[in-house]
Amino acid sequence: MTAPLLEVRDLSTHFFNQDGITRAVDGLSFHLEAQETVGIVGESGCGKTVTALSILKLLPPRLGRIIGGRILFEGLDLAGLSEPQMRAIRGNRIGMIFQEPMTSLNPVLSIGHQIAEAVRIHKGVSADRARARARQMLDLVKIPDAGQRLDDYPHQFSGGMRQRVMIAMALACDPKMLIADEPTTALDVTIQAQVLKLMLELKAKTGAAIVLITHDLGVVAETCQRVVVMYAGRKVEEAPVRQLFARPAHPYTRGLMASVARGKAGARAKRLNEIPGMVPSLREPIPGCAFAPRCQFAIDRCRNERPQFEAVAGEPAHQAACHRLSEVLKL
């Protein structure tokens, strides 16, 4: 087997501010094969976005720092690259889609201009060529009348169209990898489906691998091949998507699945399940399993010793970090 496109090994990103250190990402490892889609799921504040920003080294300067681990992209350790070297990779080899399509486009520049900009920076082509490419990209993301709409400004587009423009921007340089940070969260449900479908289509066309960051398990089920479940800055479970839904192993993953509304039409509304307790503070180091305080299976060992990853039911692709894995699986 060849080396994966992206391999994150033991990544730790901490935020340093006046009242202490926040361990936003704490020893995270995962990998992404070429042309694969991996979902990173977890609730707000579990380190999903910080992971994405760490990969592109877009952490707020002086506040957030990668303090350990390696980010191997095409065999190159991004963690050790200088800012000019990173600039050559951002937008060129790795594209990024942000959560807010409403504000991620500059309101005073035409969208053709904004798409062409990345192409000109990285490919060094003429303005005309870059414009032609921008037009081609707009066609690709199915914006009607691409030729005319190049000169329109962001306010002339709807939210879903703006997100498609963002996708066009991110893919304009043919990146090998796309990081999509909650790409559909700000959109309404029907548009979400359109945008996801479009992303998958484009992925098939361009062959870009995708890291999809989301808190929406439904989105993961529809789009991803593998899923990484994060909790409190750590990976708790990783599995091929089918197995994760068929057989969630970590108590947190189970809680997450149970808290998804699953109503049948006409059925009596039931109270949603929730995971009791709160996300632990990331200010203090957590010696054991981060989920232990909220976990119904927790024993003393969970609180004191950090669990190692174990294969679930003999499947090496399905891994979970839980001391009581065998007991949980029996349920």
Is residue 88 a contact point for another protein (CB under 8 A)? yes
Is residue 109 a contact point for another protein (CB under 8 A)? yes
Q: Quote the least distance from Cβ 87 to another protein, whole Å.
A: 5
Is residue 74 a contact point for another protein (CB under 8 A)? no
Measured from the CB atom, the residue of 116 and 298 that comes closer to another protein is 116
Is residue 100 a contact point for another protein (CB under 8 A)? yes
Q: Quote the least distance from Cβ 7 to another protein, whole Å.
A: 21
Measured from the CB atom, the residue of 40 and 170 that comes closer to another protein is 170
Is residue 165 a contact point for another protein (CB under 8 A)? no
Give the N- to C-terminal CA distance of the chain in Å, as an integer. 36
CB 96 within 8 A of CB 52: yes
Q: Quote the least distance from Cβ 121 to another protein, whole Å.
A: 6
Q: Identify the residue among 14, 23, 90, 135 touching another protein (CB under 8 A).
A: 90
Distances (CA, A) of 242 to 36, 222, 246, 248: 15, 10, 6, 10
Is residue 33 a contact point for another protein (CB under 8 A)? no
Cα dihedral sign, 100-102-105-106: negative
Nearest partner of 185 among 153, 221, 159, judged by Cα: 159
Is residue 58 a contact point for another protein (CB under 8 A)? yes
Q: Identify the residue among 2, 62, 265, 285 touching another protein (CB under 8 A).
A: 62
Nearest partner of 55 among 142, 180, 159, 149, judged by Cα: 180
Q: Quote the least distance from Cβ 107 to another protein, whole Å.
A: 8
Q: Quote the least distance from Cβ 114 to another protein, whole Å.
A: 8
The β-bridge relationship of strands 209-214 and 309-312 is unpaired
Q: Identify the residue among 13, 22, 37, 104 touching another protein (CB under 8 A).
A: 104
Distance CA 32, CA 12 (A): 18
Q: Identify the residue among 47, 64, 69, 95 touching another protein (CB under 8 A).
A: 95
CB 23 within 8 A of CB 11: no
Is residue 98 a contact point for another protein (CB under 8 A)? yes
Burial class (CB in 10 A: 0-12, 13-18, 19+), 19: exposed
Q: What is the DSSP string of 138-201?
A: HHHTT-TTHHHHTT--GGGS-HHHHHHHHHHHHHTT--SEEEEESTTTTS-HHHHHHHHHHHHH
Is residue 63 a contact point for another protein (CB under 8 A)? no
Is residue 92 a contact point for another protein (CB under 8 A)? yes
Binding interface with another protein (CB under 8 A): 56, 58, 61-62, 87-92, 95-96, 98, 100, 103-109, 117-118, 121-122, 166, 169-170
